[in-house]
Amino acid sequence: MQHCDTLIVPRWCVPVEPAVKVLEGHAVAITDGRVAAVLPLEQAKTRFQPSVLVERPDHVLIPGLINAHTHAAMTLFRGLADDMPLEAWLHEGIWPAERRWVSAEMVRDGTELAIAEMIRGGITCFSDQYFYPEIVAEAAVDLSMRAVVATPVVDFRTGWANNAAEYLQKAADLVHDPYADHPLVTTAFAPHSTFALSDESFGELRVLADQLDVRVQIHLHETAAEVEISLRDTGKRPYERLLDAGLVNRSLLAVHAVHMDDEEIARFAEAGVSVAHCPNSNLKLASGIAPIAKYRRAGLTVAIGTDGAASNNMLDMFSEMRTAALLAKATANDASAVTADEALHMATLGGAMALGLESSIGSIETGKWADLACVNLRTLNSQPIYDVVSQLVYASRCDQVADVWIAGRRHLENGQFVHIDSDGLLARGNEWRDRMSETGEVQ
Ligand SMILES: [Zn+2]
């Protein structure tokens, strides 16, 4: 008999790779934080002697969900500036609040709140872009959460840096120790958008990204206005500016990519660019609807993100999967445009591929990190169960997540946090609300 740390015996298992197919009567063994085997229960009983046995007779085990785009600390701005179009939302709502409130302390508290919310909903990895990324990385490590921490780069001064050169210097610093080969944290560059950086800054960023071999993520073609203003001011669409800067390549994650023409989609596919689709954020800010069915037909890798809590306002990947599938069907005028299987793929392995992490996360396969979520289907809204993946994507809520592991470490057990102090986080969230309200920032 072989020892393993944990043996999980769910009713169903959807490993996503090699295929989004449902296994029954299977077990998943975890050793040293990684998946040691996915095998029939009878074989598991004779092969493994587990330290911890977790039996879940009404549950489906899936790879942990991957939130491919967020601004975690913005949980503290949730509900601060609602019902405004993107430009006004940024210029009148969010940016003034950020100038006033963003600090290391705010980022720490907001990020911890976000991490707890995400873990509660089965998310085991988030890709973040926000100020004080060194604090985001620390929070992720302290709470044992997996994160892609992308350093923001803009041309203007904020509380965190003064100009593009300083942002880039800080971005380079973060890539080095202690995150060079960290088991939980990966670093990246996040130029905010083409309207926030000059061509010169993009040029410098590209050189540094190539030198350090880091991936780049950027808000791109999020609104029609963004594209029009770029054309007016520079004579180029935002995409063309990135192309000219040499940034349209395999390392690029285009966040939103709502307004793309067919030629741009073809060029993206050819270059191997990935897209982070944030359907609820796009709906809430009336940005438009990304043509996801076209992207998939063109062969683009599509991931799903929640975006920040100020523009969603939930960090709930079950809601995103459902909305992504439904929107794709409606816009393609084809009910099979994005299936439940495809939506689950985008929220797991698609996310891993878009972040360059597909060899280590995104599916339940031997050797990958044991980033797992167990979802309880013994709920009224999940009955009866004809198709497990359909129930997951179209009928499940994130509070049905019962158990979560990240790199084999248990975070959630029967819906309860194992080591996160959620009462403490609630109290800190309220303190921030009081603080922001007192000075009249929140009406
Ligand atoms: Zn965003």
Question: For residue 413, is it within any domain?
Answer: no
Question: For residue 46, is it within any domain?
Answer: yes
Question: For residue 95, is it within any domain?
Answer: yes
> Which residues are CB-neighbours of 207 under 8 A, at least 6 positions away?
none
Confidence at residue 93, expressed as pLDDT on a 0 to 100 scale: 87
- Judge if 74 and 46 occupy the same domain: no
List the one residue out of 436, 412, 271, 274 whose CA is nearest residue 349.
274
Full pLDDT tens readout for the chain, 443 residues: 999 999 999 999 999 998 878 999 999 999 999 999 999 999 999 999 999 999 999 999 999 999 999 999 999 999 988 988 878 888 888 888 998 999 999 999 999 999 999 999 999 999 999 999 999 999 999 999 999 999 999 999 988 999 999 999 999 999 887 888 899 999 999 999 999 999 999 999 999 999 999 999 999 999 999 999 999 999 999 999 999 999 999 999 999 999 999 999 999 999 999 999 999 999 999 999 999 999 999 999 999 999 999 999 999 999 999 999 999 999 999 999 999 999 999 999 999 999 999 999 999 999 999 999 999 999 999 999 999 999 999 999 999 999 999 999 999 999 999 999 999 999 999 999 999 887 654 44
CA of 272 to the centre of ligand 1 (A): 21
CATH number at residue 148: 3.20.20.140
CATH number at residue 385: 2.30.40.10
Contact 95, 77 (CB under 8 A): no
Q: What is the DSSP string of 144-179?
A: T-EEEEEEEE-SS--SS-SSHHHHHHHHHHHHSTTS
- Judge if 103 and 230 occupy the same domain: yes
List the one residue out of 339, 320, 261, 247 whose CA is nearest residue 295.
261
CA of 69 to the centre of ligand 1 (A): 6
Question: For residue 175, is it within any domain?
Answer: yes
DSSP code for 64? P
Identify the domain boundary among 354, 382, 415.
354
> Which residues are CB-neighbours of 321 under 8 A, at least 6 positions away?
304, 343, 344, 346, 347, 392, 393
Q: Is the pTM of this model over 0.75?
A: yes
- Judge if 349 and 260 occupy the same domain: yes
Confidence at residue 439, expressed as pLDDT on a 0 to 100 scale: 60
CA of 254 to the centre of ligand 1 (A): 11
CA of 414 to the centre of ligand 1 (A): 32
- Judge if 56 and 122 occupy the same domain: no
- Judge if 185 and 317 occupy the same domain: yes
360 CB neighbour count, 10 Å cutoff: 18
- Judge if 178 and 57 occupy the same domain: no
CA of 70 to the centre of ligand 1 (A): 6
- Judge if 153 and 179 occupy the same domain: yes
> Which residues are CB-neighbours of 43 under 8 A, at least 6 positions away?
none
Question: For residue 428, is it within any domain?
Answer: no
Question: For residue 190, is it within any domain?
Answer: yes
CA of 104 to the centre of ligand 1 (A): 19
Beta bridge partners of 123: 65
CA of 357 to the centre of ligand 1 (A): 20
CA of 220 to the centre of ligand 1 (A): 10
- Judge if 7 and 140 occupy the same domain: no
Contact 352, 66 (CB under 8 A): yes
CA of 298 to the centre of ligand 1 (A): 24
CA of 219 to the centre of ligand 1 (A): 6
- Judge if 199 and 210 occupy the same domain: yes
- Judge if 14 and 147 occupy the same domain: no
Question: For residue 440, is it within any domain?
Answer: no
- Judge if 165 and 48 occupy the same domain: no
Q: Which domain holds residue 219?
A: 65-354
- Judge if 186 and 335 occupy the same domain: yes
Q: How many domains are there within the chain?
A: 2
